[in-house]
Amino acid sequence: MPPGTLDPTPPPFFRQGTPALTKLIVLAALAVLLMVLDARLRLTPPLRQAIATVLHPLQWLALQPVHGVQWLAAHAVDVHRARREAEEARLALAEQADRAGLVEHLAQENRELRALLGLRQRVWPQAQAAEVLHALPDPYRPALVIDRGRTHGLQPGAVVLDGQGVLGQVTRTLPWTSEVTLLVHRQLAVPVLNTRTGERHLAFGTGDADEPLLTLRFVPLGTATAVGDTLVTSGIDGVYPPGLPVAQVVRVEPQGSGFALVEARPLARVRDALHVLVLQRPDETARAPEVQR
């Protein structure tokens, strides 16, 4: 074959194309540009709202097999266990019947004292039940997604609790769902009151949803807090209604900094909550402070 008829271009197998380093630099610059534009112009919230609206039917459809299995499992409960639980409930009801008269008497005294002191009656927040859809797959932000959103009247800042105690706070609302940041988040503070000593503290999460714990910061060494004390919401922040159970103290140790290390375990089922109650005041319109991710 004459030399002039040969194709000087390399075969497709040996073609290199754009160098990998050039691709890395271009993509990194594009990523930084998008982050700056999002921080300045807030471009992603509308996009997130649109994506959540489009994906909501798919999420609902994907969860139906799980709901079906849960429904079948709930109906497969052993009859003997159900009878035993019913018997325990009857015994507990008999024990509570003796206390009912005393509770009513104390409630009447409380109403009379409030009337004498000119105090307003406590305004309880609105409440609605919700179901936990799934947990967010973010190890640095322990949060859940519930099946209630703006169309149901939810606003950021609403308090979420299960049957045991405070679970967290609504920090983002979408049309049909909401994100609930758990109280074990490092940046979420809950004002608490020790029911035994009357001491008030701020409880912060450790950030670990697998081993949920709360720490009380800046507790003096002479504190009367002891292991086993129950912590409830104090209500001084205007967000959490007073008297909601939060945690139980499990550790009190002195530290070299002049303060005591106090740890408490949340009473709510942080890892396996299925149904929750959302508390929101009727006039609640202010947004909750954004939790850092």
Do 46 and 137 lie in a common domain? no
Are 145 and 227 in a shared domain?
Answer: yes
Residues 168 and 203 in one domain: yes
At 13 the three-state DSSP class reads: helix
Angle in degrees, CA 49, 51, 52, rounded to 5: 65
Q: Does residue 11 belong to any structural domain of this protein?
A: no
Q: Are residues 248 and 107 in the same domain?
A: no
Binning pLDDT at 50, 70 and 90, where does residue 1 land? Answer: low
Q: Is the same domain home to 130 and 261? A: yes
State whether 161 and 280 are in the same domain.
yes
Place 125 in a pLDDT band, splitting at 50, 70 and 90.
Answer: low
Assess whether 183 and 259 both reside in one domain.
yes
Give the residue from 278, 233, 286, 20 showing the smallest Cα distance to 130: 278
pLDDT band, residue 290 (cuts 50/70/90): very low
Query: Is residue 282 within 8 Å of residue 126, measured between CB atoms?
Result: yes
3-class secondary-structure state, position 110: helix
In a domain, 9, yes or no: no
Average pLDDT over residues 47-58: 84
* Domain carrying residue 102: 82-121
Examine residue 12 and state whether it is found in any structural domain, yes or no: no
Within-domain flag for 136:
yes
**Residue 173's CB: how many other CB atoms inside 10 A?**
22
* pLDDT tens per residue, range 65-81: 888 888 887 777 777 78
Q: What mean pLDDT is predicted for residues 5-11? A: 61
How does the average pLDDT of the chain come out, rounded? 82
- The pLDDT confidence band at residue 289, using thresholds 50, 70 and 90, is very low
pTM of the model: 0.63
Percent of residues in the chain assigned helix, strand, coil, to nearest 5: 35, 25, 40
Residue of 133, 134, 181, 125 whose CA lies nearest to 153: 125
Q: Which residue has the higher pLDDT, 100 or 197?
A: 197
Alpha-carbon distance of 205 to 248, in angstroms, equals: 13
Total domains in the chain come to 3
Exposed, middle or buried by CB within 10 Å (0-12, 13-18, 19+), for 72? exposed
User: Are residues 219 and 166 part of one domain?
Assistant: yes
Q: Looking at the structure, do residues 137 and 176 belong to the same domain, yes or no?
A: yes
Answer for the pair 188, 205: CB distance below 8 angstroms, yes or no: yes
On whether both 281 and 148 belong to a single domain, the answer is yes
Confidence at residue 235, expressed as pLDDT on a 0 to 100 scale: 87
Whether residues 36 and 153 fall in one domain: no
Radius of gyration of the chain measured on its C-alpha atoms: 27
What is the per-residue pLDDT across 171-187, written as a single tens digit (0 to 9) for each?
Answer: 999 999 999 999 999 98
Q: Is residue 197 part of a domain?
A: yes
